[in-house]
Structure 1
Amino acid sequence: MKKVLFFFLFFSLSTNVLAFNKVMTNISPYKTFNIKFNQKLDPKNDLLNSIKIVDSKGSKINVDVKIGSNQKSLLINPPDGGYTYGETYYLTVENLKSSLGKTLKNPYSLKFTISDLIITGTYDVTVGGFTAYKKITINGLKNYNGNVKYKYDVDAKFYKIGETASLIIPKETVIVYFYDEKNNLLGKATLNVGKSATSKSFVITK
């Protein structure tokens, strides 16, 4: 779901134009930036070079930029698939002209950080007569749609969502490490496996 964030900038011939420098955190990865102006934009503006977003490594992010229907705003849509969770980006708007020939004297700059991905899930655990023997099934995850595999800190084997693991765990807790389809570590979660239970909740943390 796209969310829209508004800003208002002024075209002026004055040399005393404010430099808009903002820092924002906890931004949705699907945020659309709507930058409004006090005058209509010149349709000849080179938007590809006037609007730039780079990540924390300096890599340019390809975004779709459009002039609004009233010609007094810019819509900066997120990249395909959204921004990366937890990443910091830098947005710069410069070298724009209005339809009256006035210029945006100082560039507008925004530093924004995307919110961390919070993944939750549920699991079932069955404790055997020999209490160190446990059967654990991770039922599913919320807020993550990609393929996931995981392993327990007491076992090197990887499991899939819905697969039951039969393990010897002498402790009452076990740590689970979750990986995406490219083997990147998504995070870990601690499961309480001291007693049999169903649909217990957990949160994946970095």
Structure 2
Amino acid sequence: MTEETPGATGPHGLTRRTIVKGAAWSVPAVAVAIAAPTASASDTSTCPSLPVPGAWVTSTSGTGNSAFAGWNNTTRTEDGFTFIRDSDSSSTPYVYTISTFVDLEAGRSYLFRLDYVAGRGCTSATGPGATSVNTDLRFAVGTEAFGLRSTQSTGAYAVVTHLPPCATGFSTETETLQGILEPTQTGPVPVAIQFVAYPTLEGNNDDYYVIPSIVCL
């Protein structure tokens, strides 16, 4: 089961770097509110948690620039992952995947949640910088896809709701993707978050800031 929950928009949610493409970009100030999971755990003593950010494994394919992509908690109490890297290819996408395993128990129910902020890759509202290119977001637990989103209609999935075009400025949209997993076997289950930056040699790709979490039901 998957669910999408739209949130509030704000001009300071995830603003694109204002320096040249390819340079390092500072961590964005996430001012929009991302609610913590509200489900209560039935047995907190045995409820697993996702590993610390540094324990997740990163893999890439394709060609991307050196803009920021990594874990940070400088603007929030939760650990989040910021992806603002761009594809540097005109023919193949740049794919950036972070993954881990979490031990689950058969017969229990687990709520997996991904709070995220999506933002345009524009560096200006007009002119050459007013162009951005689609980035897909995939959130999967085991064999279940709990979230598939695109920032533009050229993407493979449902488009992020209410994300405005570059011409209106640097507004963002906050949403939640979540799903319930009821494993039939006890043991480790893979969790993966993947960003697919569509090919581009000119416009920047759109951006994401994500916070994954798990709650025992």
Length-normalised TM-score, structure 2: 0.29
Higher strand share: 1
Length-normalised TM-score, structure 1: 0.30
* Higher RCO (Cα < 8 Å, 6 or more apart): 2
